[in-house]
């Protein structure tokens, strides 16, 4: 037997061993030994990843206040050889960790903030840990560490010169509040990405093709001098009149709204005397649309309306965008690849002990006692949906800069997320399994993309076809984020 045949025999043996550890999976066309090596690597690092996730679970820090959690992840990634950039875009707990050099640049997203009033022990019943405390109801400890698992697997292949790319981990905060990723997008941190990947724990496993909504919250303030309507000249233009003009402008936009275009506003005036007009009036507006272009159009119409009011009334008007999240632009070609990988790995399997645990909680909650079972939701093209989804997320902005994909992995049974029942599972083996599964799907999809020029071309073409002529621009001002004044969007 010559050296070459010994080597190929060894390869067959190694691949055989690796495959035997993923017996539920077949080795489909397009997969290489690097895919198996990534799976094997994640299996090897599972105890450390689980311990890291549990540490973040125990810390359970609020959005913008994840000081210890972000520090833990930064130190972990730093030890793994990642270069760290901290305090990104004015957020003290947002960081970027990078490994490798040059193009392509692949982005992964992590979060690690907990939910208020969601603390609970890892037991199948309500068992608050300290009244009103934070807990990882949304499983962001899993989200953050699952993406780290993928970053490590890709790093290992780069280090061994099996892959050529830069892998970048964006540690972010407050997806449903201010949305730190929208500030990162504004500041150009996604500009050189070739592909980015986001996952979220969920009660189901699915490769999502749903476009999340575009959302813009803005505040219009009109100010002038107070007018005493009894003694002052009645023809004096005042803030009250400007306020009425603005309401007329907004009202005139109502016919534009439909199932895919939503507009709402709230009014406030401040005055101490009914004899006086106020010196300040404020209107807070929310635009929420299924399509980014509709949100852009509505925003432009409002700006034009505010300018007309200013010119007519001579009051001072200021407009401030409080929050702006782009529609999530789905990428069908990338999501097909995710779906294939979900199928290749197969549904997550649960032990009798895990099923019993879930049944006990279901009984406690008065729900049907069904236990837990993972089933991959069949792939469907939902990109054409015309009505609003009801949710916006800060993952949307990056999807207009370069192709981005999004999927969910079952990490809990069908109980309330971002609340205490969710917290139980983000500290439980059921959540750990979801996290490790997600790390594998992320790694496989990145390797698919890196190894197939055809897939790269198809994903890029899908992206260009959907974004058409629109080029990303942020609606946010250049001001630093007002992280204490956030509004929850969930
Ligand atoms: Zn979340």
pLDDT tens string 348-385? 999 999 999 999 999 999 999 999 999 999 999 999 88
Distance (Å) from CA 238 to ligand 1 centroid: 45
pLDDT tens string 386-431? 999 999 999 999 999 999 999 999 999 999 999 999 999 999 999 9
Distance (Å) from CA 140 to ligand 1 centroid: 6
The confidence score (pLDDT) of residue 286 equals 97
Distance (Å) from CA 307 to ligand 1 centroid: 37
Strand bridging mode 206-207 / 404-410: antiparallel
pLDDT tens string 15-35? 444 444 454 455 667 789 999
For 198, the 3-state DSSP assignment is: strand
Distance (Å) from CA 214 to ligand 1 centroid: 17
Distance (Å) from CA 255 to ligand 1 centroid: 34
Q: Which protein residues have their CB within 5 A of the ion that is ligand 1?
A: 138
Indicate the pLDDT class of residue 238, thresholds 50, 70 and 90: confident
Angle formed at CA 271 by CA 270 and CA 275, multiple of 5 degrees: 155
Secondary structure percentages of the chain, helix, strand, coil, to 5: 40, 20, 40
Region 327-355 average pLDDT: 97
Q: Please give the order of strands across the beta sheet that includes 83-85.
A: 83-85, 95-100, 166-172, 105-111, 195-202, 404-410, 206-207
Strand bridging mode 195-202 / 404-410: parallel
| Higher pLDDT, residue 234 or 404 | 404
CA-wise closest residue to 220 among 325, 327, 301: 301
Distance (Å) from CA 157 to ligand 1 centroid: 29
Q: Please, is 274 exposed, middle or buried when counting C-beta atoms within 10 Å of its C-beta (0-12, 13-18, 19+)? A: exposed
Distance (Å) from CA 175 to ligand 1 centroid: 7
Distance (Å) from CA 202 to ligand 1 centroid: 9
Distance (Å) from CA 290 to ligand 1 centroid: 20
| CA 486 – CA 4 distance, rounded (Å) | 62
Q: Work out the percent of the chain whose per-residue pLDDT is above 90.
A: 80
The confidence score (pLDDT) of residue 273 equals 80
Strand bridging mode 280-289 / 214-223: antiparallel
The confidence score (pLDDT) of residue 278 equals 86
Distance (Å) from CA 50 to ligand 1 centroid: 19
Residue 131 token pair: 């009244």
φ, ψ of residue 161 to 5 degrees: the values are: 60, 30
Distance (Å) from CA 462 to ligand 1 centroid: 27
The confidence score (pLDDT) of residue 5 equals 42
Distance (Å) from CA 259 to ligand 1 centroid: 25
Angle between helices 332-345 and 429-451 (to 10 degrees): 130
Distance (Å) from CA 269 to ligand 1 centroid: 35
Distance (Å) from CA 422 to ligand 1 centroid: 11
Distance (Å) from CA 31 to ligand 1 centroid: 31
Distance (Å) from CA 292 to ligand 1 centroid: 22
Q: For tokens 């925003």, what's the residue? A: 299
Does the pLDDT at position 312 exceed 60? yes
Region 459-487 average pLDDT: 87
Task: Give one DSSP letter per residue of 330-346, joined into a string.
Answer: --HHHHHHHHHHHHHH-
Distance (Å) from CA 380 to ligand 1 centroid: 23
Distance (Å) from CA 72 to ligand 1 centroid: 20
Distance (Å) from CA 303 to ligand 1 centroid: 32
Angle formed at CA 115 by CA 112 and CA 117, multiple of 5 degrees: 150
Residue 282 token pair: 């404020």
Distance (Å) from CA 412 to ligand 1 centroid: 13
Indicate the pLDDT class of residue 175, thresholds 50, 70 and 90: confident
Distance (Å) from CA 438 to ligand 1 centroid: 15
Distance (Å) from CA 144 to ligand 1 centroid: 10
Distance (Å) from CA 115 to ligand 1 centroid: 9
φ, ψ of residue 31 to 5 degrees: the values are: -95, 145
The confidence score (pLDDT) of residue 27 equals 62
Distance (Å) from CA 410 to ligand 1 centroid: 13
pLDDT tens string 56-93? 999 999 998 999 999 999 999 999 999 999 999 999 99
Q: Which of 22-26, 109-113, 225-229, 469-473 has the lowest mean pLDDT?
A: 22-26
Distance (Å) from CA 355 to ligand 1 centroid: 24
Distance (Å) from CA 200 to ligand 1 centroid: 7
Distance (Å) from CA 109 to ligand 1 centroid: 12
pTM above 0.85, yes or no: yes
| CA 337 – CA 399 distance, rounded (Å) | 17
| Higher pLDDT, residue 237 or 367 | 367
Q: Work out the percent of the chain whose per-residue pLDDT is above 70.
A: 91
| CA 150 – CA 438 distance, rounded (Å) | 8
The confidence score (pLDDT) of residue 271 equals 67
Distance (Å) from CA 403 to ligand 1 centroid: 21
| Higher pLDDT, residue 135 or 174 | 135
Angle formed at CA 23 by CA 19 and CA 28, multiple of 5 degrees: 65
pLDDT tens string 176-208? 778 899 999 999 999 999 999 999 999 999 998
Distance (Å) from CA 426 to ligand 1 centroid: 12
- Which domains are seen in the chain, by residue range? 28-212+328-467 (3.40.630.10), 214-325 (3.30.70.360)
Distance (Å) from CA 139 to ligand 1 centroid: 7
Distance (Å) from CA 239 to ligand 1 centroid: 41
CB neighbours of residue 116 within 10 Å? 15
Distance (Å) from CA 411 to ligand 1 centroid: 12
Distance (Å) from CA 230 to ligand 1 centroid: 54
């Amino acid at each position: 037997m010559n050296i070459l045949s010994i080597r190929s025999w060894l390869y067959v043996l190694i691949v055989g061993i690796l495959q035997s550890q993923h017996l539920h999976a077949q080795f489909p066309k397009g997969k290489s030994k690097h895919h198996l090596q990534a799976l094997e690597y994640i299996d090897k690092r599972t105890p450390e990843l689980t311990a890291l996730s549990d540490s973040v679970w125990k810390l359970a820090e609020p959005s913008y206040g994840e000081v210890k959690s972000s520090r833990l992840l930064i130190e972990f990634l730093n030890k793994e050889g990642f270069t760290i950039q901290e305090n990104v875009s004015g957020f003290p707990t947002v960081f970027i960790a990078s490994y490798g050099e040059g193009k392509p640049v692949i982005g992964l997203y992590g979060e690690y903030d907990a939910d208020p009033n969601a603390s609970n022990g890892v037991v199948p019943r309500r068992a608050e840990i300290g009244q009103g405390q934070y807990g990882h109801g949304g499983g962001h400890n899993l989200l953050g560490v699952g993406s780290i698992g993928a970053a490590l697997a890709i790093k290992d292949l780069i280090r061994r010169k099996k892959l050529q790319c830069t892998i970048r981990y964006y540690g972010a905060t407050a997806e449903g509040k201010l949305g730190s990723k929208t500030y990162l997008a504004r500041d150009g941190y996604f500009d050189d990405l070739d592909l980015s990947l986001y996952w979220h724990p969920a009660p189901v496993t699915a490769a999502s093709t749903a476009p999340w909504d575009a959302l813009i919250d803005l505040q219009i303030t009109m100010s002038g001098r107070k007018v005493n309507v009894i003694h002052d000249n009645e023809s004096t233009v005042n803030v009250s009149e400007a306020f009425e003009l603005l309401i007329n402008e907004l009202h005139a936009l109502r016919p534009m709204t439909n199932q895919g275009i939503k507009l709402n506003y709230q009014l406030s005036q401040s005055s101490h005397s009914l004899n006086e007009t106020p010196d300040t009036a404020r209107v807070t507006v929310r635009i929420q649309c299924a399509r980014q272009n509709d949100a852009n159009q509505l925003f432009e119409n409002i700006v034009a309306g505010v300018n007309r009011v200013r010119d007519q009334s001579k009051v001072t008007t200021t407009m401030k965008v409080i929050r702006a999240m782009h529609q999530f632009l789905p990428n069908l070609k990338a999501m097909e690849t995710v779906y294939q990988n979900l199928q290749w790995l197969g549904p997550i399997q649960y032990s009798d002990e895990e099923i019993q645990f879930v049944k006990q909680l279901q009984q406690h909650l008065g729900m049907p006692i069904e236990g837990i079972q993972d089933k991959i939701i069949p792939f469907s093209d939902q990109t054409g949906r015309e009505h609003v989804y009801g949710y916006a997320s800060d993952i949307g902005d990056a999807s207009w800069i370069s192709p981005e994909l999004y999927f969910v992995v079952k990490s809990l049974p069908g109980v309330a997320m971002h609340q205490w029942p969710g917290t139980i599972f983000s500290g439980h083996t059921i959540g750990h399994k979801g996290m490790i599964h997600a790390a594998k799907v992320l790694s496989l999809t990145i390797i698919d993309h890196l190894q197939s020029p055809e897939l790269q071309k198809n994903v890029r073409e899908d992206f260009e076809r959907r974004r058409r002529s629109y080029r990303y621009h942020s609606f946010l001002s250049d001001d630093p984020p007002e992280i204490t004044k956030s509004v929850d969007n969930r």
